[in-house]
């Protein structure tokens, strides 16, 4: 007994460029490999810092008396190690949550939307785009009202839908994303409505972690100055690991710290990165502005909106295509695509669907015979048509003669009867 195949899940046939793991439970972008690089950039310096702390704790009482760490300079101690480990785990958690979940992907349509005929009359000057059918025309953009402002929403040719307000199409992931902020190559995922909170927490935690490492690496070098003779450069030569961490975290904080400050500004004004660079709301009123306090409250304390797409849902199998054939057909037809290919010359015709008795015929002679037989049949048809026309004409003429004769006969009878009546009347008068 043949086994029934289960219908495929949506993530298996999804047309976007996303990569799915754990049977569609985890959703990553196409550049998910960059997530490994970001992880290494966070984990490696943190592990180096933790190693330095544990080494200081372990060797504190075993070093030579001249370089012994005094109790009055307990810079790198066990509490510092605990805070570092907690910050590292938290940072990696936010990074994973940012990268592995649906950022707010909009469910795409299988066909273009139906055209509103009224819109063709009301907005004749709007730009139109052709749909997939010859008669299909779709408005390129239309206006919707949001908070009393007219917002223009555009039609997406790829997803075949009008994007929701604040949504945009990511060319890297090939998806329309709700409240699209940007595509972050460091997390390998779009940043949108559903993962923006985790993204802010990720960059904020990373900024805190790098500042923390920079601060205690600097304090360690300053604290070791009394334990090493000479200038501060001698201390740096002895504390090379702290020096490397200072330089690395100083450079990194400028980038990720600046990014954090910029996004805090965007949150306070309720903007996205895409809107900030494209629309410049500082030059006009922001239709989405709702105050600093409410913007932060909605971001960090509101419930994450549900996903518009259930990637684990089953897709029903399409019914097999059926074709109706004429009962007098003698051979099957090729598919439409193969016929077009043959007509264009991009594919040679195949004889596998032609009966064997017809495969070796001389088509040139057959065509000549067909032309000759067609001419003879045409002449026979013309001759028969002429004879039929003449017979119809003769019968019509004879019918007209018969009706004329009948009419004349009726007139004569009527005349004779009237004459007889008149004569009888005269006779009666004379007798009287």
Query: Which of 267-273's residues contact partners 24+ apart within 8 Å by CB, and which partners?
Result: 267/200, 267/295, 267/296, 267/299, 268/292, 268/295, 268/296, 269/295, 270/295, 272/166, 272/179, 272/180, 272/181, 272/182, 273/181, 273/182, 273/191
**How confident is the model over 159-167, as a mean pLDDT?**
92
- Collect all residues with Cβ–Cβ distance below 8 Å to 309 and sequence separation of at least 6: 10, 102, 105, 106, 107
pLDDT at 138: 73
More confident residue, 347 or 409: 409
What strands, in cross-sheet order, belong to the sheet with 141-146?
141-146, 149-156, 161-162
For residue 94, pLDDT over 70 is answered with yes
The yes-or-no verdict on residue 176 having pLDDT over 80 is yes
Helix H, strand E, coil C: the string for 155-183 is EECCCCEECCCCCEEECCCCEEECCCCEE
Question: Residues with catalytic annotation?
Answer: 184
For residue 17, which of 34, 33, 29, 32 has the smallest C-alpha distance? Answer: 29
Query: For residue 73, what are the contacts with CB-CB under 8 A and spacing of at least 6?
Result: 223, 224, 226, 227
Token representation of residue 138? 């779709």
Which region among 166-170, 233-237, 381-385 has the lowest average model confidence (pLDDT)? Answer: 381-385
Are 176 and 156 in contact, with CB atoms under 8 Å apart? yes
Residues shown for the chain: 432
The whole-number pLDDT of residue 413 equals: 56
The whole-number pLDDT of residue 209 equals: 97
What residue ranges do the domains of the chain occupy?
Answer: 10-108+181-301, 383-420
This prediction's pTM: 0.67
Identify the three-state secondary structure at position 370: helix
Q: Give tens-digit pLDDT for 62-77.
A: 654 444 444 445 577 8
Determine the Cα–Cα distance for residues 167 and 194; give it in Å rounded to an integer.
Answer: 12
DSSP H or E stretch at residue 137: strand 137-139
Residues 271-323: pLDDT tens digits?
999 998 887 665 677 888 889 999 999 999 999 999 999 998 988 766 444 33
User: Above 80 in pLDDT, residue 361?
Assistant: no
CB 17 within 8 A of CB 174: yes
Residue 363's pLDDT band (cuts 50, 70, 90): very low
Q: What is the mean pLDDT of residues 2-13?
A: 80
Say which range, 226-230, 264-268, 361-365, 411-415, has the weakest mean pLDDT: 361-365
Q: What is the dihedral angle through the alpha carbons of 88, 90, 94, 96, rounded to the nearest 10 degrees?
A: 60
Asked if residue 424 has pLDDT above 80, the reply is no
CB 286 within 8 A of CB 269: yes
């Amino acid at each position: 007994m043949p086994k029934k195949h289960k219908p495929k899940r949506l993530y298996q046939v999804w047309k976007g460029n996303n990569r799915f793991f754990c049977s569609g439970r985890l959703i990553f972008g196409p550049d998910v490999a960059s997530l490994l690089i970001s992880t290494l950039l966070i984990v490696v310096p943190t592990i180096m810092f933790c190693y330095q702390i544990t080494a200081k704790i372990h060797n504190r009482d075993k070093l030579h008396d001249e370089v012994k760490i005094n109790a009055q300079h307990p810079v790198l101690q066990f509490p510092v190690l605990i805070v570092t480990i907690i910050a590292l785990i938290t940072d990696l958690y936010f990074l994973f949550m940012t990268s592995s979940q649906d950022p707010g992907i909009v469910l795409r349509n299988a066909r273009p939307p139906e055209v509103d005929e009224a819109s063709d009359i009301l907005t004749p000057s709007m730009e139109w785009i052709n749909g997939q059918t010859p008669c299909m025309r779709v408005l390129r953009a239309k206006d919707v009202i949001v908070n009393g402002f007219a917002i223009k929403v555009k039609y997406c040719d790829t997803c075949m839908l009008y994007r929701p307000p604040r949504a945009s199409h990511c060319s890297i992931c090939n998806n329309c994303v709700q409240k699209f902020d940007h595509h972050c190559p460091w997390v390998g995922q779009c940043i949108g409505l559903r993962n923006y909170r985790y993204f802010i927490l990720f960059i904020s935690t990373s900024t805190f972690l790098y500042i923390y490492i920079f601060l205690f690496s600097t304090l360690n070098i300053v604290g070791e100055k009394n334990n090493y003779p000479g200038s501060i450069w001698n201390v740096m030569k002895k504390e090379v690991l702290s020096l490397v961490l200072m330089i690395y975290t100083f450079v990194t904080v400028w980038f990720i710290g600046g990014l954090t400050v910029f996004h805090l500004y965007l949150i306070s004004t309720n903007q996205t990165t895409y809107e900030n660079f494209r629309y410049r709301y500082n030059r006009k009123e922001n239709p989405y502005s709702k105050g600093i306090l409410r913007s932060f409250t909605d971001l960090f304390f509101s419930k994450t909106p549900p996903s518009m797409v259930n990637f684990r849902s089953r897709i029903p199998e399409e019914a097999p295509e059926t074709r109706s054939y004429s009962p007098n057909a003698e051979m099957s037809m090729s598919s439409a695509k193969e016929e077009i290919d043959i007509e264009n010359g991009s594919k040679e015709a195949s004889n596998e669907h032609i009966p064997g008795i017809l495969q070796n015929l001389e088509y040139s002679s057959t065509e000549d015979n067909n032309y000759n037989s067609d001419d003879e049949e045409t002449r026979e048809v013309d001759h028969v048509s002429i004879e039929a026309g003449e017979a119809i004409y003769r019968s019509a003429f004879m019918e007209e003669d018969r009706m004329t004769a009948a009419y004349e006969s009726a007139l004569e009878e009527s005349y004779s009867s009237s004459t007889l009546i008149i004569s009888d009347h005269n006779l009666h008068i004379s007798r009287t």
